[in-house]
Structure 1
Amino acid sequence: MSLQPEEEFDKLFLVFEGSSSEDVSHARQLWSSLSLLPPLESRLESADIRQRLPVSRPRRSSTAAVPGHIPPVPEPPSLPALRQMQEERQRYAAMADQRLEILALLRKQREQRIQKELLSAAFKPRVKESREKKPKRQEDSDLEVDRELVRQLQ
């Protein structure tokens, strides 16, 4: 009598001592049906995990290339959408007008400031000459102090 490997395995490891033959057969059926599956990591393929990347569908070039195909005509915007677009245009136009007014006012103020400076330029004292003289005097006194210190060292 040659036994298959599973039967030999069952006889070696499934031992039911002190039980009736019916209980033993039921127990063998139960234990053989409860065999565990290998973990997902050890399987080559899994139903839960997609094994392949999705295939891209071929893209259609332009719709005009298809003979007999008429492109759909876009529907005109609805009345509320038209009103909203018109209000936005009016708002942007008002902002542009306000910007132009502000630039004109700034330009006018700049011209007035330049005219005032030109008028008062004739009456302003020359500040540059007085500033140039003072540092020269200080430099002269510093030179004299330095000369005296050198004489003392000799």
Structure 2
Amino acid sequence: MPQQNAQEGQADDLLTVFEGSSAEDGSHARQLWKSMTLLPPLESRLASADIRQRLPVARPRRRGTSNVANPVPLTVCSERQREDERRRYQAMADQRKEVMALLGRQRQQRIQKEHLSAAVKPKKEVVEPPDPEIELDKELML
């Protein structure tokens, strides 16, 4: 194993050449070039740091007495919730019917008032726009 690391280090030294610079500058430049390698795209990685790879571990259940002396079965609770929802929806439906009835009564009152006022309102005369040819004939006759 140490021989393999030594061979890789020698290969890196052979591939990266900095002529005319000090050994310290060469090592800094090598480190810079090694740090500039791009990481593969996130899609090609098998594991990602920002994605949880494991499911949460379930905690063991405690065996013993529960704090609730007489637990109510879930079916009774769900039935109570359904009944509450039915009552609430029924109340909303009743309120909607009342509003619709009120709107209907107001509409009928408006229609009755319009019928009463229609007899008193003056009739609008229908005025036809003057025909330009008749106007031209009148001007020519004068």
> Do the structures match in fold with TM over 0.5?
no
Q: Rg bigger for which structure? A: 1
TM-score bracket relative to the smaller structure: 0.3 to 0.5
Query: Scaled by the length of structure 1, what TM-score is found?
Result: 0.38
